[in-house]
Amino acid sequence: MPIQLVPMPSFHTKRLIINAIEKTDDHALVALRSDDRVNMYINRPKQVSLEDVHAFVLRIQEGLQNLQLYYWAIRLPIDNQLIGTICLWRFVEENASAEIGYELHPDHQGKGILQEALVNILDFAENTILLQQIEAYIHQDNTASRRLVERNGFSIDPVRKDESNEHNLIYIRTRVHAE
């Protein structure tokens, strides 16, 4: 069954708002994407300036408009402040797959926030856009992230290797069909 890409929805959970990045998020994005603790296991250049973040947001907006990716802000409703992000990208039509990625400011880690966001995004990925497989590239030393995906039905692909980061493990979640 082909992937059914649709406009990006918003989600409201018990504790979170998961919606589009806004122009007012630029300072929160700099704080998130320049934090050494957030970037410890991610192979990317830090975004330490508003110019860096503005260029990043433009790429995200272009990808959203072209239905090439989904990129959500994770917010607490009390102040609507961005505390993290979660995304689906690298769609492959042939096997109805995509990669999931996420990041959360360290002040909010260990509170179940990513679990709450991930459950909603996985449901959307499998039941709305009809992905059959979701991949997560996770640094071998990032035990919290590894536990998160394992708790959500991902397992390590024992064959594939991440050519761009030898320390990453590739986790796969395959959709289970109810017959």
For 58-105, how does the pLDDT look when each residue is reduced to its tens digit (9 = 90+)?
999 999 999 999 999 999 999 999 999 999 999 999 999 999 999 999
In the block, tokens 């995200």 appear at 60
Q: What is the pLDDT of residue 148?
A: 98
Question: CA dihedral in degrees (46, 49, 55, 58; nearest 10)?
Answer: 100
For residue 46, the model assigns a pLDDT of 82
Residue type at position 103 = E
Asked if 29 and 48 touch (Cβ cutoff 8 Å), the reply is no
> For residues 171 and 54, what is the distance between their CA atoms, to the nearest angstrom?
31
CATH of domain 11-174: 3.40.630.30
The position carrying tokens 């122009």 is: 23
Mean pLDDT of 106-120: 96
Task: Please give the biggest Cα pair distance in the chain.
Answer: 51
| Mean pLDDT for the stretch of residues 141-150 | 97
pLDDT band per the 50, 70, 90 thresholds, residue 177: low
